[in-house]
Amino acid sequence: MFRAFRLIANMLRPRVFLSSLCVVIVLFSFLQLVAYLYAPDYAPNLMNMFRSRDETVADLFEETVEGVFVFGDSTVSAGDFAATPYPYGLDWKNGPGGRFSNRYTIADCFATKVGTHISQPFNTFGKDAKVDDAGINFGTGGCGLLDKTRPPSRYWQCSSASEQKSQMINLDLNKTRIEKAVFLVSMAGNDFIFSYLNKRQVVHKFFYLYLLSDAKEFAQELGVEMKGLLETLYTFGARKFVVNNVGPVGCIPNLRHSFKMMTCNVQLNEDVKMYNNHLKAVLRDFANMFVESKVVLADSYGVLSLILDDPAKYGFKNVSHACCGKWSKETNMFECNNSTEICGDRKAYLFFDGAHTTDQANKVFADNCLSGKVCSRVGKH
Ligand SMILES: *[C@@H]1O[C@H](CO)[C@@H](O)[C@H](O)[C@H]1NC(C)=O
Ligand SMILES: *[C@@H]1O[C@H](CO)[C@@H](O)[C@H](O)[C@H]1NC(C)=O
Ligand SMILES: *[C@@H]1O[C@H](CO)[C@@H](O)[C@H](O)[C@H]1NC(C)=O
Ligand SMILES: *[C@@H]1O[C@H](CO)[C@@H](O)[C@H](O)[C@H]1NC(C)=O
């Protein structure tokens, strides 16, 4: 105790204090340099330690958000095409069905957080859509960024990125509103599940190295499509973008179960990460080329990894099983319907069905996005 006091008293002596300060400054600069050299994207975060942590998306865009236009898959779909009957939506009284969650998707959580209305699905507007204050949700469950990505069932209808894109540009919307709205893009997970994985399983038995270069190629293929989507939206008048990366799809209950071990498919997650890194570069190039744009990367992969690593910290008890669903050998997935069991405490589960996160998980995502931990602006600005 006494020694500690002496140490502090010593440090308070001007010369000792000054040299300690110098050491701290030198150390800090060194850390900055190391961070800059090894991870330029994270380097500014070191400075953020001294700034207020409560950065909001409104801050990211430097103005309030007016309406959200949504493009994507079941992570954001509000039910275009897909009727998702009970128990989907069971925690949303009188809420619209069609969502792959017990209540809100990440798009709904995002809109609610930034204080705009939840946008309605495209088909409820029809072809002669008028300007809607809340934006429009073009998302559908099952498709991907690539046109070739389709769900296994022939009877399942969905729109790929290019189809959603053409639905948008055929509408006559108010340009002033478009400029002020946020364009939320969340897709490519299905490309890994339905296009990449299937191809991979076949080749897997023969040659491993080929696969690694294939992962890179696949990332490039997705990147080209994403770039095309953003450029089209920009030409249409969009200026504010939030782009979600792909989560650790190797950890969804369906894939855990089909690989028999109930552990995550680590290799698939690595391949997803390769795409996510490439996506970041694509977004940075886009933001730097179109200087009027404001581009935010939402790191779904990051936040889901945090939850998977320490579920209790985020209030989850079960991150490996579906809250609702029974394994079906025919479809090779957990089926969630009105005759399968549903968990009691939905807030304790990360996954509602075999592939989709619960309302609670989506809320954690949105909360963390808005606090600046999950979402960050990319490009020079
Ligand atoms: C377009 O939106 C702006 C901003 O909300 C509004 O002031 C303007 O009146 C709208 N224009 C038309 C033609 O509706
Ligand atoms: C998760 O829930 C499933 C049933 O839904 C159960 O079999 C499993 O043991 C649970 N795991 C944990 C870690 O609680
Ligand atoms: C619900 O899913 C289970 C498991 O796949 C299946 O056996 C059952 O027929 C389904 N029931 C309905 C009503 O669709
Ligand atoms: C369960 O779902 C099936 C198929 O969607 C439907 O025919 C049936 O009426 C439902 N049963 C109940 C009790 O809601």
Q: What are phi and psi of 258, to 5 degrees?
A: -75, -15
3-state secondary structure 91-156: CCCCCCCCCCCCCCCHHHHHHHHHCCCCCEEHHHHCCCCCCCCCCEECCCCCCCCCCCCCCCCCCC
Closest Cα to atom 10 of ligand 1: 174
Instruction: Take residue 50 and report the two structure tokens written for it.
Output: 């001294």
| Per-chain mean pLDDT for the chain | 84
Average pLDDT over residues 70-99: 89
pLDDT score, position 56: 56
Q: In the block, which residue shows the tokens 């995502």?
A: 365
Closest Cα to atom 14 of ligand 3: 337
Closest Cα to atom 12 of ligand 2: 318
Q: In the block, which residue shows the tokens 């985020």?
A: 314
> Do the beta carbons of residue 336 and residue 352 sit within 8 Å?
yes
pLDDT score, position 51: 40
Ligand nearest to the CA of 172: 1
Å from CA of 354 to ligand 3 middle = 14
Q: What are phi and psi of 10, to 5 degrees?
A: -60, -45
Average pLDDT over residues 4-21: 64
Is residue 378 over pLDDT 90? Answer: yes
Distance spanning both ends of the chain, measured CA to CA? 50
Cα(318)–Cα(7) distance, integer angstroms: 48
177 lines ligand 1 (CB under 6 A): yes
Q: In the block, which residue shows the tokens 């400054």?
A: 25
pLDDT score, position 10: 61
Which atom of ligand 1 approaches the CA of 131 most closely? 14
Q: Is the dihedral of CA 271, 273, 275, 277 positive or negative?
A: negative
Question: Radius of gyration over alpha carbons of the chain, in Å?
Answer: 23
> Do the beta carbons of residue 176 and residue 110 sit within 8 Å?
no
Three-state secondary structure call for residue 188: coil
Closest Cα to atom 2 of ligand 3: 335
pLDDT score, position 45: 46
Cα(381)–Cα(296) distance, integer angstroms: 12
pLDDT score, position 368: 87
pLDDT score, position 380: 83
315 lines ligand 4 (CB under 6 A): no
Is residue 98 over pLDDT 80? Answer: yes
pLDDT score, position 104: 96
Is residue 47 over pLDDT 90? Answer: no
pLDDT score, position 53: 39
Closest Cα to atom 10 of ligand 2: 318
Which atom of ligand 1 approaches the CA of 66 most closely? 5
pLDDT score, position 7: 59
Three-state secondary structure call for residue 239: coil
* pLDDT tens digits, one per residue of 257-303: 876 667 899 999 999 999 999 999 999 999 999 999 999 999 999 99
pLDDT score, position 38: 55
pLDDT score, position 132: 59
Is residue 248 over pLDDT 80? Answer: yes
pLDDT score, position 48: 43
Cα(104)–Cα(96) distance, integer angstroms: 10
Which atom of ligand 4 approaches the CA of 85 most closely? 5
Ligand nearest to the CA of 173: 1
- The CA-based angle 49-52-57, given to 5 degrees, is 110
- Residues with CB under 6 Å of ligand 3 are 326, 328, 335, 337-340
Is residue 219 over pLDDT 90? Answer: yes
Å from CA of 331 to ligand 4 middle = 19
Please, which pLDDT band fits residue 206 given cuts at 50, 70 and 90? very low
* Helices marked H in the chain: 2-12, 14-38, 43-48, 57-61, 106-114, 122-125, 161-169, 175-180, 189-190, 197-204, 208-236, 253-258, 266-289, 300-309, 359-370
State which of 63, 173, 174 you would mutate to test the pocket of ligand 1, scoring each by most atoms of that ligand within 8 A of its C-beta.
174
* pLDDT tens digits, one per residue of 144-185: 999 999 998 888 899 999 999 999 998 888 888 899 999 999
Higher-pLDDT residue of 29, 77: 77
Cα(227)–Cα(282) distance, integer angstroms: 7
Listed range (45-49, 253-257, 370-374) with the worst mean pLDDT: 45-49
Contacts of 305 (CB under 8 A, 6+ apart): 248
Please, which pLDDT band fits residue 198 given cuts at 50, 70 and 90? confident
Å from CA of 135 to ligand 1 middle = 14
* pLDDT tens digits, one per residue of 335-365: 999 999 999 999 999 999 999 999 999 999 9
Cα 175 versus chain centre, distance: 27
258 lines ligand 2 (CB under 6 A): no
pLDDT score, position 161: 97
Dihedral Cα 341, 101, 278, 48, nearest 10 deg: -110
Is residue 2 over pLDDT 60? Answer: no
Beta pairing, strands 240-244 & 182-186: parallel
